[in-house]
Each structure stands twice: as C-alpha cells, then as structure tokens.
C-alpha cells in the first residue's frame, strides 16, 4: 500500500536530511506506530505519503504509483483517498460538528442527499451521535479529536495518517482515541500514526517503526515504544500471513491514475 524506496528528504536551507535513505513497506490494512525523538523525521514521513512535500531522492509509492511521477492535477485525487488527523484537531471553529464533517464531502462535490445520510452515520461511528449541532468549543478535547477523525474518514479513505493525535489529550482519552483508530483500521483502513506516547504504543503492540536522525533504527511487528529485551518482538515479516490482511474498503489504485477528467 505504501512503499518508501531509498527515500531522502532534505528541506531547502537545511544541511542535514530530515529522512535519510529510508526504505520500507506498509501493507494494506496494517496499523503502524512511527516513533522517535523530536526532529527524527516522523511528520516528514507522513507529509511525503500525501505528497505535501517532494522527496529529494528516492521514491514514495502509494498503491503502486510513484508519487514523484503523479501529475499535479492528480494529487487531489490521491489526497481524497488519505485521511489526516493532527494533534491540534484543526476544526473549523465557526461551523457545527456536523458542518465540519459535511464540509469534507461538500468540497468533493458530493450531493446533499448523500451528505445527509453519511454525516450522522460517521458521527455515530466515532461515538458522537446526537452532537452534530454542537460547536467545536462546546466539546472536550477528546470529542474534538473524534470530530477530526470523523472528518478524516467520512470519505472512507484507504489510508489514515495521524500525526500525534493524542498529543493534547489526557491518558484515558488518548487510549479511547487510539481504540477508535484501531477500530477504523479493523474495517480495512491502513493507519500510520506518529507518536511520542509510550503508554499507547506499549498497550496496543502494533508494528513500530523507530526513526532517529531520519533513519529507520528499528522496525518490529508488535513492537514496544523502546526496545524491550524482556519481551521479544517479532521482526516484521517480509510476506504477511493472509490472516494479517483485512479487506480494503475499496480498491482505488486505478482511480488515482486515471482521474476523473
């Protein structure tokens, strides 16, 4: 689903690369924690997947398509298949919860009759049924993050990128939010989550990719936040067992290439 081939990213006016010769593959349906110290390249990795930034060298492939070769007019179609969630929620403060989620569909030109059904369904999925008319400031931090997640998944993306989604939340709310992400993942969406939250990573025991100075230091299935010699982690299998794969919500590889023009 996502493949990095010898990817180096050096930002303009920067002397050292933010990502340095990174090669890895994330299979469809996986849930991956990306960990590492501040400045190790976690957000950069997510930005490259959505082609917010170009690579300096190497290739990022999403569903088999090299993002470096994707025509600019096809980038919006790529992004439609990728939901994003951030630490600071990024809700529209002057719109209700329902309007925030609906907006994500309106910009895609979805008809109102579809929006009317899908928005309440999605709010229910994230545990916010009945709260569609509230304003964001009338919600707790955890509820605001649920709105952001609803907005990110309302179009049933194949991939969900979460950059420190629990960074502003207390430990209990953080666990709830990651449980929600895990349930979205169980329905077929591939999830990449950058995090500093050791409790969460140790609780969920999913694949862990650890970065340091832009390099992959560790890549383990069912890993922990820091290497734990007392708990042997399985190395990431090169070929996944069929049981590890979920059915994707939709196939979209051809869509990305063809576009709707």
Interface with ligand ATP in residues 169-208 (CB under 6 A): 194
Q: Considering the rule CB under 6 A, would residue 209 count as an interface residue with ligand ATP?
A: no
In whole angstroms, what separates CA 72 from the centre of its chain? 21
**What is the pairing mode between strands 207-212 and 31-35?**
parallel
State yes or no: residue 41 binds ligand ATP (CB under 6 A). Answer: yes
Binder of ligand ATP out of 5, 21, 25, 39 (CB under 6 A): 39
Rounded to a whole number of angstroms, the minimum distance from the CB of residue 172 to ligand ATP is: 23
Asked if 165 is part of the footprint of ligand ATP (rule: CB under 6 A), the reply reads: no
- C-beta of 17 vs 83, nearer to ligand ATP: 17
Closest approach of Cβ 80 to ligand ATP, in Å? 24
CA distance 195 to 164: 5
Report the C-alpha gap between 80 and 105 in whole angstroms.
Answer: 10
Q: Are 136 and 91 in contact (CB under 8 A)?
A: yes
Distance in Å, CB of 46 to ligand ATP, minimum: 8
Please, which residues bridge with residue 7 across strands?
A: 22
Six token digits for residue 231: 């708990």
- The reply on whether position 43 binds ligand ATP by CB under 6 A is yes
The continuous run of DSSP H or E covering 34 comes out as strand 31-35
Minimum separation from the CB atom of position 53 to ligand ATP (A): 8
Nearest to 260 by CA among 80, 63, 69: 80
- Under rule CB under 6 A, residue 44 binds ligand ATP: yes
Cα–Cα distance measured from residue 65 to residue 147, given in angstroms and rounded to the nearest whole number: 30
Asked if 14 interacts with ligand ATP (CB under 6 A), we say yes
According to DSSP, the β-strands at 57-62 and 65-66 are antiparallel
Please report whether residue 42 would count as binding ligand ATP according to CB under 6 A: yes
Q: Which is nearer to ligand ATP, 38 or 112 (by Cβ)?
A: 38
Count of chain residues binding ligand ATP (CB under 6 A): 12
Q: How far is the CB of 169 from ligand ATP (least distance, A)?
A: 16
User: Where does this chain touch ligand ATP (CB under 6 A) — which range of 32-40, 152-160, 226-234, 246-254?
Assistant: 32-40
Q: How many CB atoms lie within 10 A of CB 202?
A: 16
* Exposed e or buried b per residue across 154-167, where buried means at least 16 C-beta atoms within 10 angstroms of its C-beta: bbbbbbbbbbbbbe
**36 sits near ligand ATP (criterion: CB under 6 A):** yes
Which of the ranges 39-47, 57-65, 132-140, 181-189 carries the binding residues for ligand ATP, by CB under 6 A? 39-47
Positions that interact with ligand ATP (CB under 6 A): 11, 14, 18, 36, 38-44, 194
């Amino acid at each position: 689903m996502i493949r990095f081939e010898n990817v180096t990213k050096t930002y303009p006016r920067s002397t050292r690369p933010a990502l340095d010769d990174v090669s890895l593959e994330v299979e469809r349906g996986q849930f991956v924690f990306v960990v590492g110290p501040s400045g190790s390249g976690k957000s950069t990795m997510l930005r490259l997947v959505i082609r917010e930034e170009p690579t300096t060298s190497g290739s990022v492939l999403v569903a088999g398509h090299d993002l470096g070769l994707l025509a600019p007019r096809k980038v919006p179609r790529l992004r439609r298949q990728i939901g994003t969630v951030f630490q600071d929620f990024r809700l529209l403060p002057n719109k209700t919860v329902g309007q925030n989620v609906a907006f994500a569909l309106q910009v895609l030109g979805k008809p109102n009759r579809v929006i009317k059904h899908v928005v309440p369904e999605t709010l229910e999925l994230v545990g916010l049924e009945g709260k569609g008319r509230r304003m964001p400031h009338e919600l707790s931090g955890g509820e605001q993050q649920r709105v952001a997640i609803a907005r990110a998944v309302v179009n049933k993306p194949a991939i969900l990128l979460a950059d420190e989604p629990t960074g502003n939340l207390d430990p209990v709310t953080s666990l709830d939010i990651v449980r929600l992400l895990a349930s979205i993942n169980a329905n077929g969406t591939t999830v990449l989550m950058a995090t500093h939250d050791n409790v969460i990573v140790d609780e969920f025991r999913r694949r862990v990719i650890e970065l340091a100075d832009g390099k992959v230091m560790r890549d383990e299935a069912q890993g922990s936040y820091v290497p734990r010699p007392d708990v042997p982690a399985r190395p990431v299998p090169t070929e996944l067992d069929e049981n590890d794969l979920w059915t994707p919500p939709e196939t979209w590889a051809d869509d990305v290439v063809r576009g709707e023009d």
